[in-house]
Amino acid sequence: MSSVPDRSEVDERYTWDLESIYATDDDWEEAYEDVTERVGELEAYEGDVTDDAETLLAVLECRDELMRDVSTVAAYARMRRDEDTTDQEYQALTARAQSLASDVQSAASFIDPELQELTREEFDAMVETESDLETYDHYVDDVLRMKPHTRSAEVEELLADLGEVMGATGEVYTMLSNADMAFPTVEDAEGTPVEITQSNFTTLLKRPDRDFRQRVYEGYFDEWTSMRNTVATAYKNSVKADVKTARARNYDTAREAALNGPNVPVSVYDTLVDSVHDNLDKLHRHAELKRDALDVDELRMWDLYMPLTGGEGPDLEYEQATEYVVDALEPLGETYRSRVAEGLESRWVDVYENEGKQSGAYSGGTYDTQPFILMNYQDDITSMYTLAHELGHSMHSELTKDEQPFVYSGYEIFVAEVASTVNEALLTNHLLETVDDPAFRKHVLNEFLERVRSTLYRQTLFAEFEHEVHRLEEEGSPLTADRLDELYGELKAKYYEPAVVDDRIAREWMRIPHFYRAFYVYQYSTGISAALALVDRILEEGETAAEEYLAFLRRGSREYPLELLQVAGVDMSTSEPIDRALATYGERLDEFETLLA
């Protein structure tokens, strides 16, 4: 498409059904006011949390009910804003919802410090008195575990109050990159003007016309360069906020603080980086194979997204993609598969790009709503895989809600990315087994290789970058735009040794929104590693392995991430799943090399 439609031009059946949450914005206002009025009910318990078992249960249930309701208020406002990030009305609603969520967090901030006055034995005695408290057993265990990093009630309230401000740089970045930045229009080989957007940038880099790709690449990054100092300032202050918050909670480093939240050892992060470093030769082979397939003397940064097939993949309409995805999920059982099919028919998905729409994709919704998936579907194989990915998140949420109370209805990203990537791997297997068209099969195989490259290798590169950036800040070294470019460029050159690394790609860090949620991206890499190991088990062992996997999904956050994955049959405290995934990547490279020969 050379132009992006207005929101009003998109057929309703391709939009998500937000009216199922609140029929009108007036209904949202009523819900907003209701939550506002009830904040005082929670605050009234301050100082009395551990008086007796009955009071403890009452305060925890009051907190959960308030959190449930404010999460729905906030989710609706954000999704309305994401439909068109230039809409001032929904920007205002989102700001109000975020402020209210911060108020609720602040109001609840006294609970954990007061709970930490208990010993484990005292809590167990309360459970003997009030059996419903047993629901909160793992939650209390987690609260007590965090006692060394929890401050006084007064300081916790202050930190909660500052939460909205500390996250402001991410909001600034979102508005800058999605609402204010205007990327150029470039002409294709036929002279047709093509508008570059955040959503179609990588899709345009898959077009076979190399000169066109170069114009897209340069035009896109030149627009980012014009915002270089602004983005560097935003990111620098985001990193400072991470470091200062970690220190306020008695952590030595921001990374330690981020990983301790979900109780993931720092050694898991380091094992990932070390394993990827040991297997960079496979990524280098991929780059060399791409250079040969494209028949170019030098592989340039505008060539990286080109498929090994040497051209664009087949057009894949949304309806066909949904059929492939639903059929691919058969190994997980008919109940899982049919629930996905019903969801796709019930407007879970906001499918196509429109003017001002939030770029990328995500799975949203709350404990009290259906899932909602934001897409910017581009009629290609990559978009189909993105749909499968987000449906994995949505079904994880659905299965968790079926089995768990609200307190365990969330789950850490560490396990979330397993659920999404299992769906991708099942899709690859299904397509390679059922589609006969040789050209299509090549594109599927290429998609697998690109997924490993962009998920396991690329996200580990990002993880190295943000670890080093935070380390520099913790040492007191200045984080200038030049220093950030230098650091990122060095990593890019290391990972893509056979390619030419230019000044523009050294600024790629500017376009990565996940950096405003520190130490998040490494979990994509661990997630794909665990997922590939799980799919191997499911395909080899059948129903038993599938049921163990579904049991893992149903557990929500009732255990810590590494324990949950052991329920499914994967041990992420070792390098074995990562090494297995990278070995599979190497085997697929061999297979594709044979096909090309």
> Which pLDDT band holds residue 14 (cuts at 50, 70, 90)?
very high
> 393, 420 in Cβ contact below 8 A?
yes
Q: What are 16-73's pLDDT values in tens digits? A: 999 999 999 999 999 999 999 999 999 999 999 999 999 999 999 999 999 999 999 9
Question: Mean pLDDT lowest for which of 462-476, 566-580, 581-595?
Answer: 581-595
> Which pLDDT band holds residue 497 (cuts at 50, 70, 90)?
very high
- What count of other Cβ atoms lies within 10 Å of the Cβ of residue 96? 17
pLDDT of 314 reads 87
What integer is the mean pLDDT of 308-337? 93
> 305, 202 in Cβ contact below 8 A?
yes
CA 201 vs. chain centroid, Å, equals 19
- What distance in Å separates the CA atoms of residue 8 and residue 10, rounded to the nearest whole number? 6
- What distance in Å separates the CA atoms of residue 22 and residue 103, rounded to the nearest whole number? 22
Q: What are 123-139's pLDDT values in tens digits? A: 999 999 999 999 999 99
Six token digits for residue 86: 């230039």
Nearest CA among 15, 54, 8 for reference residue 376: 15
Nearest CA among 363, 362, 427 for reference residue 394: 363
**Residue 185 phi/psi, 5° resolution?**
-105, 130
Q: What are 117-126's pLDDT values in tens digits? A: 999 999 999 9
> 341, 326 in Cβ contact below 8 A?
yes
- What distance in Å separates the CA atoms of residue 416 and residue 324, rounded to the nearest whole number? 22
- What distance in Å separates the CA atoms of residue 531 and residue 550, rounded to the nearest whole number? 13
Q: What are 358-406's pLDDT values in tens digits? A: 988 999 999 999 999 999 999 999 899 999 999 999 999 999 999 999 9
Task: Choose which CATH entry (3.30.9.90, 3.30.565.10, 1.20.140.70, 3.40.50.720) describes domain 7-166.
Answer: 1.20.140.70
- What distance in Å separates the CA atoms of residue 294 and residue 573, rounded to the nearest whole number? 39
User: Is the pLDDT at 2 greater than 50, yes or no?
Assistant: no
Q: Which is it for the CA torsion 316, 322, 325, 328, positive or negative? A: negative
Q: What are 424-459's pLDDT values in tens digits? A: 999 999 998 999 888 888 889 998 999 899 999 999
Between CA 538 and CA 388, with CA 574 as vertex, the angle to 5 degrees is 40
Beta strands in 480-575 (DSSP E): none
> Which pLDDT band holds residue 304 (cuts at 50, 70, 90)?
very high
**Residue 588 phi/psi, 5° resolution?**
-65, -35
pLDDT of 156 reads 78
Q: What are 178-234's pLDDT values in tens digits? A: 888 999 999 998 999 999 998 889 989 989 999 999 999 999 999 999 999 999 999
What amino acid positions are annotated as catalytic residues? 390
pLDDT of 287 reads 96
- Between β-strands 362-364 and 372-374, what pairing exists: parallel, antiparallel or unpaired? antiparallel
Question: Mean pLDDT lowest for which of 248-257, 309-318, 574-583?
Answer: 309-318
Q: What are 139-175's pLDDT values in tens digits? A: 999 999 999 998 887 887 788 777 777 788 888 888 8
Q: What are 289-300's pLDDT values in tens digits? A: 999 989 999 999
Q: Give CATH superfamily name and number for 184-224.
A: putative peptidase helix hairpin domain like (1.10.287.830)
Contacts 24+ apart (CB under 8 A), 346-350: 346/17, 346/370, 347/13, 347/15, 347/16, 347/17, 348/16, 348/17, 348/372, 348/373, 348/394, 349/14, 349/16, 349/373, 349/375, 349/387, 349/390, 350/14, 350/15, 350/16, 350/83, 350/374, 350/375
**Residue 350 phi/psi, 5° resolution?**
-95, 105
Dihedral in degrees, nearest 10, Cα atoms 57, 364, 344, 422: -90
* Mean pLDDT, all residues of the chain: 94
The most distant pair of C-alpha atoms in the chain lies apart, rounded to whole Å, by 77
- Between β-strands 362-364 and 349-350, what pairing exists: parallel, antiparallel or unpaired? unpaired
Q: Where are the domains of the chain?
A: 7-166, 184-224, 251-314+412-597
The reply to whether CATH 1.10.630.10 applies to domain 251-314+412-597 is: no
